[in-house]
Amino acid sequence: MMDGLDDSPDLLAEDENKPRTESVDLTKDDTLSIDISDALSERDRVKFTVHTKTTLPDFRESEFSVVRQHEEFIWLHDRFVENEEYGGYIIPPAPPRPDFDASREKLQKLGEGEGTMTKEEFTKMKQELEAEYLATFKKTVAMHEVFLQRLAAHPAFRKDTNFRVFLEYDQDLSVRLKNKKEKLGWFIKSMSQSVDEVLLSNQKDADEFFEQEKGFLVEYHNRIAQSTKCADRMTKMHKSVADSYIKLSTGLGSLATCENTELDNYLPSSVRGASKETTKVFNKVSECFEKSRKLEARVSSDEDLKLSDTLRYYLRDTSAAKDLLYRRTRALADYENANKDLDKARAKNRNVQQAEQAQQRACEKYEHLSELAKSELQDFKKRRVGAFRKNLVELAELEIKHAKALNQLYRNCIAQLKEEGRAAKAQPQ
Amino acid sequence: MADDREPPPLFDDEKPDKKEEEDDLFATPNEAPKEEVKDEPASLPTEPAQDKASEDLFAADDDLFGDKQEGPVEVDTSKLRRKLTEDVDDLSPIEEPKPLIPTAADSGKPPQSDAAAKKEPPKEKEKAKEVKPAYKEEPANVSTDQPLLKPMKVSVDLHTPKPAQNMQEESAAPPQLEVVDEPPPEMDISGEGEEVDLDSPETEGPSSPAKMEPDSDSSPLEAPPMAEVLPPAKPVTEEKPKPTPAPRKPSMEKSKEEVGYTSFAQIEEEESGDQFALDIKVHDPGKIGDGMGAYMSYKVTTQCLDFGEEKKTSIPAFRRPSMTVTRRFSDFLGLHEKLSQKHVHIGRIVPPAPEKSVVGMTKIKMSKEDTSSTEFVEKRRALLERFLQRISIHPVLQMDPDFRDFLEQDELPRATSTSAVSGAGVLRLIKGVGDTLSKVTIKMDESDQWFEEKQNQVEALDQQLKKLHASVEALVTYRKELGISTAAFAKSTAMLSNSEEHTALSRALSQLAEVEEKIEQVHLEQADNDFFLLSELLKDYIGIIQAIRIVFHERVKSFHNWQNAQQTLAKKREAEAKFKQTGKTDKIAHAQEEIREWEGKVE
């Protein structure tokens, strides 16, 4: 589990770093490296220990660590979003809220159903759930880490003061969760944004690149959302299949004991032999199921890791890119409005100066945004392709590995069963 | 083994005591004056009992007894043992229950008149000799069990006779006389409650048809004559005094055998298919008719396979080595109905027939060509095939004329009682309710350890299988869903690849989509296999266990009947004793008649 989970941030980090280094030659990877060295779960909050190692002169020390909570990550993200300067960048998506409710709920359900299953089964199920919980936990940590790493790797974001404060300030940042008013404000804002998006969708774009990009991203986003949902569902089902193996194997096991214990004394030897055969067979098959359960569980978790998580990450990334496009379109609209205003002002010959300035500003902003966005989007594409390639290749390799292991397992099992059968036949003679 | 075996006899010895007490309650008032009078009737029941009980099996014991009578107490143990072992070996095919027989037989003897005891043995011995060769065909493994029983048997033999003889000598002593008087009913109790065997062979004496059945079990060689004998064996449901005892007793023995053989041997046999001589295939399901009157018909092809020379003659009743008939589903149900009417009653486990599925059939009736209905038909076809094969490997059921007709006859009378909504269906339902009720009300102290164990085990097995079945079902559902979600994922990946700009990535994604599609196929296929191979198998066995339970229940019922009869008999006897006491001679004859009748029932 450990290896698997640690893989993903690294991979992503690498992917991100590669393109970065091309564009920003001066900074090497090791100038600012961030990792989350520890995470503690306290009730429903998770405390991450953020460890930073840097050679940058802006930081007071070269190595330090602070304790941060999820809310503080969100706060950091929001600061970036709110900052107009970064309008032209794809802001790395904020990590998802740590969500252990699903695991807890399952655990509770399991506790309720304790009476209906055997002890063995129960412990196995519990173990399975605990493993699942641990996996979610690790994944959450990894997401947060990736978020910080991306920020650190970005030439603009890494210099942000808020980011520095986040990394350096060893006291509580005293960010609270958004209160109701803010939440409402946020909601209205997002509503207006989506309305805006619809309104702006008719906005003609002079630049073909952006026009095309916009179409692509919208479509891509929808589809990747769909894919993610399906992949999640698929992994969940796979997990269920693996879990149902538990019941199967214990069921077979108890069947074996049932066959074994009670008949012995009351059957002629041949039949007793047969029942012992059956017992053996049951035991073997149950063992086999148990093993294959583990393999299937691995398959499912790997699928989850390599496929669903990649998809999910890029789902959020595309939505970030979409936001960028939105900001750009907004700027474009502003620019056009400013143009109109300027025309009006000229026609009326009033406030021409002011309008000209506004138009100028808007134009600059728009152009700046467009330029940045272009490079960001190209970057994004490269990154995405790279990440997908990497993860898909790994997925395929793992799938093949697991499939081979399963195949081997079943073959062995069949061979053993056949052996038993021969032995059983040989015995009576 | 020997240790485990020991308890039953002990138990046996104890049990009569308990019963005795009960009987005492009835008897005590009349005890003292009855003495003389009772002696006679008491011996009466034993004689018929002896008659029946003392065919081949008991010939040995009777013989021993005869020896004892002549050269009474000096009978040396070694001789006894040798004799017993010989006999036991010869009689090996008769199953385990035997250990108890000696006890019953021996203790039953004392009250018997010497003359009767001496006369009977030789006859029986002759009979026994006649039958013995047939039994020798039995597989050796059964007899390997037998020797283990001997020590115990002998010990019983040695101990019980002595007190008995003492009693005979001192027959004047009232307290002992009580004991002597009482035995006949007790003996019946111990003999029947625990060891049904005692009576099953009895059938041989009166040459009732049912007697052949044990033989058929033991040796296929006897099959041909038996085929003719079997039909009359049809157990009569109304309690006619004579035929009932025969089927009823074997029922217990039979079910015992059956549980041993069917449930386990079948597992074996399914793995190594070469054990049955009939190869039955159900194939070519076809829909006949249209609309609601439509039904499915199946072709049933039977081939008699020869495995070795012995088996060549095993089923000569079939006229051709291979035949094909067309049967519809209700014919199968009809066959099951007939077989279970005949056989469940006497304790045989009839393989369960597939259930009637109104939903599935309606689907077929309604739809023309549908994948779901073909799946249903295929499933049912497999079920039917298994059903027939199960019957065909059963030593007795395979000989059943109805089964043969089913395989051979071109036209079968339509089974009417099997349609789901018919009056017969309702009747069945009512009967089912009655059965469940009686299942609750009739409690039986399990007196036979074998059955007790077996019943517990079957219950446990049933539970486990059901659980397993449920989890397999869950697995199948999950897997199907996995398949479906994989398909959805493949689709969405394909979409994604369409909108992907980067050509290489797009290609990769579309390939992923293809692979996922294939995986989906694999998942679905596996789900199907899980279902057909595992789930259906488990379901089958759950069905069989249900059948076993029915047989158990049947046994409990017959035990109940028998106990009722027992009580009535005791009452009648009392009444008769009263009549004799009061001197109402005219009524005595009537009462005696009644007693005889009930004795018959008790048997």
Put the strands of the sheet holding B322-328 in their side by side order. B278-288, B295-304, B322-328
What does the mean pLDDT of chain B come to?
56
Q: Do residue B489 and residue A219 have CB atoms under 8 angstroms apart?
A: no
Residues of A whose CB is below 8 A from B268 = 274, 277
If one counts every other C-beta atom within 10 angstroms of the C-beta of residue A161, the result is: 9
| B295 vs A: CB within 8 A | no
Residues of A whose CB is below 8 A from B465 = 255
> Which residue blocks in B442-583 are alpha helix, DSSP H?
449-499, 503-529, 536-582
Q: Do residue A251 and residue B492 have CB atoms under 8 angstroms apart?
A: no
Question: Which tens digits make up the pLDDT trace of B555-591?
Answer: 777 777 787 887 888 887 787 777 777 766 666 777 7
CA A398 – CA A4 distance, rounded (Å): 11
| Tokens standing for residue B429 | 């339902």
Residues of A whose CB is below 8 A from B272 = 425
Q: Which residues are within 8 A (CB) of B195 and not within 5 positions of it... i.e. 6 or more apart?
A: B12, B97, B98, B100, B101, B104, B448
Quote the pLDDT of residue B82.
Answer: 47
Residues of A whose CB is below 8 A from B4 = 265-266
Q: Which residues are within 8 A (CB) of A44 and not within 5 positions of it... i.e. 6 or more apart?
A: A100
Phi, psi (rounded to 5 degrees) for B398: -70, -20
What's the length of chain A? 429
For the cut 60, the answer to whether the pLDDT of residue A373 exceeds it is: yes
Residues of A whose CB is below 8 A from B492 = 223, 226-227, 229-230
Give the B window 504-563 contacts with A, CB below 8 Å: 504-505, 508-509, 512
Rg of chain B (C-alpha set):
30
For the cut 60, the answer to whether the pLDDT of residue A74 exceeds it is: yes
Give the B window 134-173 contacts with A, CB below 8 Å: 139, 141-142, 144-145
Nearest Cα residue to B116 out of B49, B202, B164: B49
The percent of residues in chain A predicted with pLDDT above 70, rounded, is 75
Q: Do residue A388 and residue B505 have CB atoms under 8 angstroms apart?
A: yes
> Which residue of chain B has the CA closest to A218?
B499
Q: What is the DSSP letter of B274?
A: G
Quote the pLDDT of residue A115.
Answer: 65
CA A161 – CA A154 distance, rounded (Å): 14
At position A186, the amino acid (one-letter code) is W
Quote the pLDDT of residue A356.
Answer: 81
CA B441 – CA B451 distance, rounded (Å): 19
Q: Which residues are within 8 A (CB) of B291 and not within 5 positions of it... i.e. 6 or more apart?
A: B365
For the cut 50, the answer to whether the pLDDT of residue A2 exceeds it is: no
Quote the pLDDT of residue A406.
Answer: 86
Which ipTM was obtained for this model?
Answer: 0.71
| Tokens standing for residue A422 | 């021969």
If one counts every other C-beta atom within 10 angstroms of the C-beta of residue B200, the result is: 29
If one counts every other C-beta atom within 10 angstroms of the C-beta of residue A336, the result is: 17
Query: What's the Cα-to-Cα distance from B425 to each of B116, B238, B297, B356, B418, rounded to whole Å?
Result: 53, 21, 22, 12, 7
| B321 vs A: CB within 8 A | no
Quote the pLDDT of residue A348.
Answer: 81
> Is pLDDT larger for residue B562 or for residue A14?
B562
Query: What's the Cα-to-Cα distance from B281 to each of A118, B267, B377, B382, rounded to whole Å?
Result: 41, 19, 15, 9
Give mean pLDDT in consecutive 10-residue pieces for chain B, a chain of 603 residues: 40 40 41 40 40 40 40 43 44 40 40 42 43 40 38 37 40 38 38 36 36 36 35 34 35 41 38 49 68 68 54 49 72 76 66 64 56 67 77 72 71 51 52 56 58 74 79 84 86 83 81 87 85 79 78 77 80 78 70 71 61
Query: What's the Cα-to-Cα distance from B137 to each of A220, B225, B366, rounded to whole Å?
Result: 79, 17, 55
Mean pLDDT highest for which of A78-82, A408-412, B261-265, B446-450? A408-412
